[in-house]
Structure 1
Amino acid sequence: MPRRPALAVLGTCAGAALVAGAAFGAAAAVQAAPVSEPISVSADDARLALDPISGYETGVFDESAAEIVQFHAGTDRAFVVNAQAGVAEVLDFSDPAAPVKLHDLVTAGVVAGDGSVVPPSAVANSVAVRADGLVALAVENDPKTDAGWVVFFDAAGDGASALGAVRAGALPDMVTFSPDGTTALVANEAEPAEDYSVDPEGSVSVIGLPAELAAPLQAAVRTADFHAFEAGGTKALPEGVRIFGGIEGSAFPVSENLEPEYITVAGDGLTAYVSIQEANALGVVDLASATITDILPLGTQDHLSVPIDASDRDDAVNIAAWPVKGFFMPDAIGSFESEGETFVVSANEGDSRDWDGFSEVARVKDLGSDGLAPVCEPLASFVTDDQLGRLNVTTANGLDETTGCYAELFSFGSRSFSIWSADGTQVFDSGSDFEEITAEALPEGVFNSSHTDVSFDNRSDDKGPEPEGLAIGTIDDRTYAFIGFERVGGVIVYDVTDPADASFVTYVNNRDFSIEDPSVSPEALSASGDLGPEGLDFVPAADSPTGEPMLLVGNEVSGTTTAFAVDVLVEPVPSPSPEPTVTPEPTPTSDPTPTASPTPSAPASPTGAPGAGGSLAATGTDPLPGIAAVAALFAAGLAALTLTRRRRA
């Protein structure tokens, strides 16, 4: 998450984005109305609708000016991370239709418990608010490879002074509280330096908190590290956890590879789960001992079974079966309880180790050049721009050392969300829903568009809609997952009450796609709506100033914070609580959702060319026997799903 969007802008928009940021980055923040016609589609039996009711815009484009948002019921205030400014902006949401900025929580100059001082160049990454108003702000150092801080404030204060701070690990990326508020947990992502000269150890800070509104002492900070999983340690590193690259001769190569991204705490407050995104795993933290007790590898999504649109140069929406596997690589995660069991929900964004000094990323068509090993036959038959040639894959997995070529191809992210049991077993995955739903819902010509400009299909070669942000909420005894799409935008909602049989509810996108380049002027940015949803916070009815549920979304590219009313459409029908079916290999029902495998396995002997919604048949001998049959089945299956699973508004 700390990779700032300005560094990742696609194509010719990069220069414009930087110029725009300098030209109107200091524009005055104002209230923002929803776009005139938000896009919205729902299932036939949808119990909820999302309606954008207001927004607050900073006028800052593509500089993470509204990244993470948290609401505090006791003050009716929203705390929004403005990453590059190193502050949290405080917004008065007592009238959600007309939010007003009150002040900033400034971290620069705060003295921590160890005597260190937060510099003006520090970067704010995350914010959390305890029920009594204790605000915790995770702050990244400069350089980011040095230890960062957690700075504490009073939610009801005027922001003039902090309560104090404690030192955390390198690049504290996310902070949260345990359900009882006695502990703060920090995911210290510990990314390497751009030149890979320094790679700090990833860790989780476990901070004991005072009961009153006060900052903890430095002595209350304990560090949960990954040393036990190093060679010769007390725990075996599970097969399937991605460890590669790194600095030669490092004393702790495993710990340096593992980069905690996001944290969720189980309802009993005893266990936390940490997404370790690039390693494609979840870490399990025991809060009492402040130790990492387990690492759960998440396996891969087989895109022969779960189709994707793999090319930005095929001039079509072509969601098809391909001989590629996607690492789930979740960013945001959440958790909920069902029938006495804990389930973890993950937004499977995908991410890579991609730095100036080391990168694992290559397009399939570039394998075999610039010192990279080639693709093995018969996969090589698909290395064209309109098939797999443009797809970004990792060079760190899939190489057959015996033949010296890539026998398997692995992409970043699964373009889905998943539900996992406490032991890391996948009990549900949304499969190809996200691309199918957005393909049907969005205006013609904007499928898999980016957030920085409007361009058809330009994210198909790299993570598609890119599910990133996530919030879990309960309404009328039903549990919902709200997931934000970082690139094409919008929030999708699933009913996850039965973890093994989650169902699509609604999708809303508060974006005006007629604005092709939002970076050209403040007016264009303002009219564009929400770009790059990053952080989501569900506000239950009991805590909401309206008395009805609400969803707040922080949008890092448009610099906007948007409030959505969560409207209950039908009265729930009383029924017994569902009993989840938790098995290592769940049987798909309406969706072709594969079971995550702890270790990548070779694709089944495929053939033909994929073609759900398009024709890519190879001439002559079929290069991969079996894909044609799979594709034909999916073409029929996807058509049936379209007709029976949901109604488009």
Structure 2
Amino acid sequence: MSFRITAVSLLALAAAQPAFAQAFNRIASFPVASNMAEGVDATQATSSEIIAATEDGMTLVYTDSPLGVLGRIDITEPANPQPLGNVELDGEPTSVAVIGQTAFVGVNTSESFTDPSGRIAQIDIESGEETASCDLGGQPDAVAKAPDGSFLAIAIENERDEDLNDGALPQMPAGALVIVNVAEGDLACDTINTVDLTGLAEVAPSDPEPEYVTVNAEGEIAVTLQENNHLVVVSSQGEILSHFSAGAVDLENIDATEDDALDFTESLSPVKREPDAAAWIDDTHFATANEGDYEGGSRGWTIWSQDGEVVYESGASFEHALIEIGHYPEGRSENKGVEPESVTFGEYRGTPMVFVGSERGSVVGIYDVTDPANPVLSQLLPSGIGPEGYVTIPSRDLLVSANEEDLVEDGGARAHVMLFEYQDAEPVYPMITSAGADEMIGWGALSGMVMGDDGMIRAVTDSFYAGQPSILTIDPAQTPARITSRIIVTRDGAPAEAMDLEGIALDGKGGFYLANEGRADGSRANAIWHVDAEGVVQDEFVVPEELTSGATNSGLEGVTVDGDGTIWAAVQREWADDPAQHVKLLALDPETGEWSAVHYPTEEPTSGGWVGLSEITWHDGALYLIERDNHLGQTAALKTVTRVDMAGVEPVALGGDYPVVEKTMVRDLMEDLTSTGGYVLDKVEGLAIAEDGTVWVSTDNDGVDDHSGETMFWSFQLD
């Protein structure tokens, strides 16, 4: 097989942005918990997995495995999606396809791995009534419709038990492909044709496990056998037209080690593709997302001819593009990186496009496939946590993603369906990228920021990258803002240990003061680190033990230097010696090492949780702070920038009666945080102010760990 690898960087994407006449931008996010009926426990986990749209594009339906339902959403007004409620199913929904106004849902009813069963249910979407059902004789995974609506193709996976023999294949019974006709919109159960797929793959030929199906305009069905690393093309009558190994890929410049650091200098070879989703591009080419499962996962996607020729292979280029926008999940480095799981196709305003979804990076990449041998990456969109399925609605210029992860038990984001519109506009996302730097710079978990005298912003990354504490240089004058360089904070020639960098300030001599957030058990100190221009630690100012004896894990969350050279640090939340809803602003004289403090009054939390400080910055005689709650999504209520005029304020030595400062609201950030159509992100953590009063704000994406990976970076002007 011959193939070409096209190295696609966000640099080329970003460089082309001024010429963009059209782009996808997110217009709404729908929390699927909104579809729960009144009186139902809304704190139970829900999910949106595989999604489809009615023929008129006005209604969405999605499978919700945890609840065992089919969810419905009214998108008559796509920027204001409305719940239509859930349809109860007797079993676990695994996939859905829609013909006209009718949903066809694969339902898993298996009692065990060795006794799989399932059915295909026919649901009237408007009424929610189940009007027909066919027994499938096994556990259905994916369902696809013929473009003309004449039949359904269903992957009967009969999945393996991953706890049995370490998940090794074969494990009986074998899977198969089922084809069932749809006559005048109704299932014709008597036409079921079960296609035997055994004996084809090199890997466990006796135990094929079909994962995904897709049908082209000629009625040909492409089937992925993910665990078998094999692909099969079948006619509408069940004849096997071609089959071939999905092969392997050599990967260069990747991070293959989970070590709390981003280092893209490793390689892996050979890596089995083990494709998951597939989508026809035309009648002779289809694309696969090579997520991997048992032994593989090549971190990219491939375009195939239906006879098995590799027409295009992304290699590591898709992953590299996600690295540049801060969406690389370091915690998956030893596994499958960004794990492309989803792929779909749509033609918008005459341009054929492939949409590749990264399950772990929570991004969808949009490729122009006018030439299938040379796809061009045109956009990257933030897609919610764990995107599982996509549906294209070109007739309405809409793209929809279904995101399966619901982190309600951990106080995180709920599962969402996100809607994007193809607009005559510039792309809003990404807001910040490292594309164009002299080296590949991975980044994430942005915390404190400071504006430099050179017009560049310096930012630090927090403890998520404890093995690589970093200071990033950001050029905010570019769109998107550009991370141009990175230095590693070092001590004795090695990356400094026990660091959780939460703030940065200029020392006036080319170096920096860094705020280190400590831990209550003393394993990491609350301290101000002084580093030179190269990031080498020169000195350390540890907050005195007499003060930290009542400390919690919510320690120093920012640092700045006032006009007199005093160093100020914000404590995130109150400690044992603080009154309720009062936190300390600590003052340090760097010449004498003496500490003093004032109290800052925080707002009362409105829906449980807490309210505290995330950042502190000196500008024009005042301290500016980020005050926020720890909520996100629908429960978020408080994300603000406040101002404390320091004229006449005298901090008191530790242990004294600290004066309480007065604050004024500068900006409510809630409108900013919803301006891109997403749910409210919780961690607003970076604040930098230029001399002209331009204020830059950033969010912390938690290193893409139980997080969508989305980073917002924007500015506003002080009055």
TM-score, scaled to structure 2: 0.52
Q: How does 1:543-562 map to 2 (within 5 A)?
A: 544=396, 549-558=397-406, 559-562=415-418
Per-residue Cα deviation, 1:92-151 (whole angstroms, up to 9, x for no partner): 11111111111222222xxxxxxxxxxxxx210101101x22210001113254221000
Secondary structure of the corresponding residue to residue 373 of structure 2: helix
Q: Is the 8 A contact 1:144 1:170 kept in 2?
A: no
User: Please, which runs of 5 or more residues in structure 1 have no aligned partner?
Assistant: 1-39, 109-121, 230-236, 244-253, 353-393, 395-411, 450-456, 511-529, 571-610, 615-645
Matching residue of 2:95: 126
- The partner residue of 1:273 within 201, 214, 222 is 222
Is 1:307 matched up with 2:307? no
Matches within 5 A, 1:426-465: 426-442=310-326, 447-449=327-329, 457-465=330-338
Q: Which of the numbers 238, 242, 252 marks the counterpart of 1:294? A: 242
Aligned to 1:334: 279
Alignment equivalent of 1:531, drawn from 368, 372, 385: 385
Q: How does 1:503-514 map to 2 (within 5 A)?
A: 503-509=376-382
Shift of 1:292: 3.3
Deviation at 1:199, TM superposition (A): 2.4
Aligned match of 1:563: 419
Tell me the residue number matched to 1:351.
293
User: C-alpha separation between the residues in 1 aligned to 2:265 and 2:292?
Assistant: 20
Q: Give the number of equivalent residue pairs.
A: 398
**Structure 1 counterpart of 2:30:** 56
Residue of structure 2 in register with 1:216 after alignment: 188
**What stretches of structure 2 of length at least 5 have no aligned partner?**
1-11, 34-41, 166-170, 407-414, 427-438, 443-478, 483-719
> How far is the alpha carbon of 1:61 from its aligned partner?
8.6
Q: Is the 8 A contact 1:319 1:435 kept in 2?
A: no
Residue 220 of structure 1 aligns to a residue whose secondary structure is strand
Given that 1:320 and 1:612 are in contact with CA atoms closer than 8 Å, whether structure 2 keeps it comes out as: no
Question: 2-side partners of 1:439 and 1:194: how far apart?
Answer: 30
1:156-171 pair list within 5 angstroms: 157-159=126-128, 161-171=129-139
Aligned with residue 488 of structure 1, among 343, 351, 361: 361
The residue matched to 2:281 in structure 1 has which SS?
A: strand
Equivalent in 313, 317, 333 of residue 262 of structure 2: 317
**Matched residue type, 1:57:** P
* Residue type at the aligned position of 2:292: G
Instruction: Supply the distance in 2 between the matched residues of 1:61 and 1:434 (Cα, whole angstroms).
Output: 36
Identity level (%): 28
Q: Secondary structure at the match of 2:25?
A: strand
Decide which of 297, 307, 311 is 1:413's aligned counterpart: 297
Compute the displacement of 1:297 (Å).
Answer: 0.4
Counterpart residue identity of residue 429, structure 1: E
Amino acid at match of 1:282: L
User: Is 1:148–1:169's contact at 8 Å kept on the other side of the alignment?
Assistant: yes
Per-residue Cα deviation, 1:139-195 (whole angstroms, up to 9, x for no partner) = 11132542210000123x311x21110011422011111111111110111113455
Pick one of 301, 308, 314 that aligns with 1:424: 308
SS in 1 for 2:188: coil
Q: Does structure 2 retain, via aligned residues, the 8 Å contact 1:42–1:648? A: no
Displacement after TM superposition at 1:42 (Å) = 4.2
8 A Cα contact 1:344 1:420, kept in partner: yes
SS in 1 for 2:217: coil
CA contact (8 A) 1:441 1:648 kept: no
Change beyond 3 A, Cα 1:479–1:144 = farther
For residues 261-306 of structure 1, the C-alpha deviation after alignment (integer angstroms, 9 at most, x for no partner) is: 111112212x110011111111111212x23343210211012xx4
Structure 2 residue identity aligned to 1:215: L
Normalized per residue, which structure has more strand? 2
Q: Identify if the C-alpha distance between structure 1 residues 498 and 43 changes in structure 2 by more than 3 Å, giving closer, same or farther.
A: farther
Query: Residues 388-418 of structure 1, C-alpha deviation per residue, up to 9 Å, x if partnerless?
Result: xxxxxx4xxxxxxxxxxxxxxxxx2111111
1:192 matches 2:155 = no
State yes or no: 1:172 paired with 2:26.
no
Q: Secondary structure at the match of 2:361?
A: coil
Q: How does 1:85-96 map to 2 (within 5 A)?
A: 85-96=67-78
2-structure distance, mates of 1:64, 1:292: 38
Q: CA contact under 8 A between 1:485 and 1:491: conserved in structure 2?
A: yes
* Alpha-carbon distance in 1 for matches of 2:110, 2:299: 33
Distance in 2 between the 1:62 and 1:486 partners?
A: 22
Distance 1:43 1:204 in 2: 45
Kindly report which structure 2 residues correspond to 1:611-622, keeping only aligned pairs within 5 A, or say none: none
1:68 aligns with 2:50: yes
Corresponding residue for residue 225 of structure 1: 196
The alpha carbon displacement at 1:64 in A equals 5.9
Deviation, structure 1 residue 535: 0.2
Q: Distance in 2 between matches of 1:262 and 1:61?
A: 31
CA apart distance, 1:476: 2.7
1:79 maps onto 2:49 in alignment = no
Q: Is the CA contact (8 Å cut-off) linking 1:301 and 1:327 kept in structure 2?
A: yes
What is the CA–CA distance in structure 1 between the aligned matches of 2:323 and 2:215, rounded to whole Å? Answer: 34
SS at match of 2:381: strand
Structure 1 residue 63: Cα displacement:
5.1
- Structure whose CA Rg is larger: 2
The 3 A distance-change label for structure 1 pair 563 and 297 is same
How many Å apart are 1:554 and its aligned residue? 0.4
After superposition, the Cα gap between the structure-2 partners of 1:69 and 1:82, relative to the gap in structure 1 and judged at 3 Å, is same
* Structure 1 residue 448 displacement after superposition: 2.5
**Cα gap change, 1:568 to 1:345, in 2 (>3 Å):** farther
Looking at structure 1, the residues matched to 44 and 392 of structure 2 have their Cα atoms a distance apart, in angstroms, of: 24
Match of 1:479 among 330, 347, 352: 352
Which protein has the bigger helix share? Answer: 1
* Deviation digits for residues 537-565 of structure 1 (CA, Å, limit 9, x no counterpart): 1111x2x2xxxx11110000041111111
Contact 1:103-1:158 at 8 Å conserved across structures: no
TM-score normalized by the length of structure 1? 0.58
Please give the alpha-carbon distance, in whole angstroms, between the structure 1 residues aligned to 2:194 and 2:360.
34
Q: Which amino acid aligns with 2:97?
A: A
Give the alignment partner of residue 263 of structure 1, picking from 182, 188, 213: 213
* Structure with more relative contact order (C-alpha pairs < 8 Å, separation 6 or more): 1
Question: Aligned with 1:105: secondary structure?
Answer: strand
Query: How far does residue 321 in structure 1 lie from its aligned partner after superposition?
Result: 4.7
Separation in 1, partners of 2:43, 2:378: 31
Q: Equivalent residue for 2:375? A: 502
Is the contact between residue 41 and residue 441 of structure 1 (CA under 8 Å) also seen in structure 2? no
